Amino acid sequence: MERINPFNNALKQLKESIAYLGLDEEYYRRLSTPEHIIEHPVTIVMDSGESKTFQGYRVQFNNALGPYKGGIRFHPLANIEEVKTLAFLMALKCAVVNIPMGGGKGGVQVNPKNLSAEELERLSRAWVKVFFHDIGPDRDIPAPDMYTNPQIMAWMADEYSKLAGHYTPASFTGKPVDKDGSEGREFATSQGGFYALTELVKKMGMQTGKIRVVIQGFGNVGYHAARILHEHGYKVVAVSDSRGGIYVEQGFNPDHVMQAKRERGVLVNAYCHGTVCDNIEHKKITNKELLELECDILIPAALENQITEKNADKIKARAVVELANGAITPEADTILDQKRIPVVPDVLANAGGVVVSYFEWQQNLENKKWTERKVLNKLEKIIKKEFNNIWIISRDKKVNLRTAAFILGIGRLVKAIKR
Ligand code: NAD
């Protein structure tokens, strides 16, 4: 896939919403400019004894609603434009789900697959050392993102606590449950997406037992989305990872695929080798083919810029739920609108992660532990309420759901800036 400057896409959408809200140009300038762009080299000693330096980033976009909040991504292609865009989307996302948090994002340009577990721990701790004065429970609270996970957050919170001189679990969210993480955080992004999807399905009059779902990506978000949907009677017919995907006409249990992937490493080689699905007809497909499959719901849950002007016309899904950040470009949005394919945009579809991160932060600050039921009930209420708010704006103003979400979020941000 080509690299498209994702920040320009976000700005285009911001400009449109400012115009819809009839706001002064000044708000465009204010909301298109990150408050802090921080870059530090992060140096670690490799297992070989040599030193190696990686580029580290943190962008603090806007804190009008509360402390900056957003993930840290370890990825070979991580760069400042991408981190800026994701930080902007975090500010908007927190506003869309109406939580008192601002937008931030971080990254390290590194391929974590090339690091040993010890090197990964050293890198995580080194990131905290160099960014220590920029973050903190009242200032900026990072969380996991692509190729970072609860264990990495535990190392980071531990390092932060050492440097602060006291135990500070509220410095990072997305930690393991036994290290002051929240119940439900691991699958919160997918669970939130599921709540949004169920509202959309109701509006579109689809019948649960017959809904065919295709999911791109089989990491944290993609796998849990597949698992939750399967558990609720949806038919998951295709999933993929970076090496390609599988398609099974009659649907399959994602847990069987996950088990086989864990045993064999790669999804396309994992399926149907002595597992329960040996007798089921299945097909290996490319990621390009997966996106163009006939289905009811398509869920991009891997990378940005997957549905562009080049393939949007070939999308055959009846609706798209954008779990990955920035998976659809503005040009593709226009084409999907023309094809009358509704899109639940990333800022709502994947906001479950930040909502439960906010719950984790609250629990840490109050030294409390909520049950999974309590976490999920509160999450469900928020996502369903904001989905319906966005739906109403979209009908009233005759705009798509993304523009409606921007109108809702930008409206709340501007109100916070004015106070
Ligand atoms: P992850 O690292 O756990 O999984 C990423 C998945 O994408 C893997 O299965 C990987 O194989 C696959 N992938 C990578 N390159 C691909 C390619 N070229 N084609 C197809 N698949 C490819 O990451 P994640 O946490 O599941 O995040 C996925 C997306 O969701 C990202 O856009 C992330 O920003 C977004 N997101 C995640 C969270 C969260 O809580 N984890 C919250 C909000 C948004």
Domain boundaries, the chain: 35-169, 188-347
Average pLDDT for the chain: 93
Residue type, 276: V
Which of these, 199, 201, 261, lies nearest to 227 by C-alpha position? 261
**Per-residue model confidence (pLDDT) at position 13:** 86
**Per-residue model confidence (pLDDT) at position 267:** 61
Q: What φ, ψ does residue 344 adopt, rounded to 5°?
A: -80, 115
Q: What is the mean pLDDT of residues 99-107?
A: 97
Which ligand 1 atom sits closest to the C-alpha of 346?
Answer: 44
Of these residues, 105, 175, 235, 261, which one is catalytic?
105
**Per-residue model confidence (pLDDT) at position 277:** 45
* Residue range 148-176, pLDDT digits in tens: 999 999 999 999 999 999 999 999 999 99
* Residue range 295-344, pLDDT digits in tens: 999 999 998 899 999 999 999 999 999 999 889 998 999 999 999 999 99
Give the Å distances, CA to CA, from 323 to 7, 66, 199.
18, 24, 15
3-state secondary structure of 69: strand
Q: What is the CATH number of domain 35-169?
A: 3.40.50.10860
Contact 394, 401 (CB under 8 A): yes
Closest protein CA for atom 34 of ligand 1: 325
- Cβ-in-10-Å burial (0-12, 13-18, 19+) of 28 comes to middle
* Residue range 229-268, pLDDT digits in tens: 999 999 999 999 888 889 999 999 998 888 877 776 666 5
Contact 42, 56 (CB under 8 A): yes
* Upper half-sphere CA count for residue 68 (Cβ side, 13 Å): 25
Which of these, 304, 329, 402, lies nearest to 17 by C-alpha position? 402
* Residue range 391-403, pLDDT digits in tens: 999 999 999 999 9
Residues 6+ apart with CB under 8 A from 15: 28
Q: Same topology for domains 35-169 and 188-347, yes or no?
A: yes
Decide: 286 in ligand 1 pocket, CB within 6 A. Answer: no
* Residue range 358-388, pLDDT digits in tens: 999 999 999 999 999 999 999 999 999 999 9
Q: Is the domain defined by 188-347 classed in CATH 3.40.50.720?
A: yes
Q: What is the mean pLDDT of residues 274-300?
A: 80
**Per-residue model confidence (pLDDT) at position 270:** 54
- Structure token pair of residue 399: 């705009």
**Per-residue model confidence (pLDDT) at position 281:** 63
In sequence order, which ranges of 265-321 are alpha helices (DSSP H)? 267-270, 287-291
Q: At what angle do helices 401-418 and 6-20 cross, to 10 degrees?
A: 70
Contact 142, 157 (CB under 8 A): no
Of residues 75 and 272, more confidence is placed in 75
Pairing of strands 297-300, 212-216: parallel
Which ligand 1 atom sits closest to the C-alpha of 221?
Answer: 26
Decide: 220 in ligand 1 pocket, CB within 6 A. Answer: yes
Q: Say how many residues make up the chain.
A: 419
Testing ligand 1's pocket by substitution, the residue of 90, 110, 120, 241 carrying the most ligand atoms inside 8 A of its CB is: 241
* Residue range 8-57, pLDDT digits in tens: 878 888 998 899 999 988 999 999 999 999 999 999 999 999 999 999 99
Distance 3 CA to ligand 1 centre (A): 16
**Per-residue model confidence (pLDDT) at position 146:** 85
Band of residue 279 on the pLDDT scale cut at 50, 70, 90: very low
Residues 6+ apart with CB under 8 A from 196: 321, 344, 348, 349, 383, 384, 387
Band of residue 269 on the pLDDT scale cut at 50, 70, 90: low
**Does the pLDDT at position 65 exceed 70?**
yes
**Does the pLDDT at position 147 exceed 70?**
yes
Q: At what angle do helices 80-96 and 6-20 cross, to 10 degrees?
A: 30
Taking the CA atoms of 11, 220, 376 and 157 in sequence, report the sign of the dihedral they define: negative
**Per-residue model confidence (pLDDT) at position 43:** 98
105 has catalytic annotation:
yes
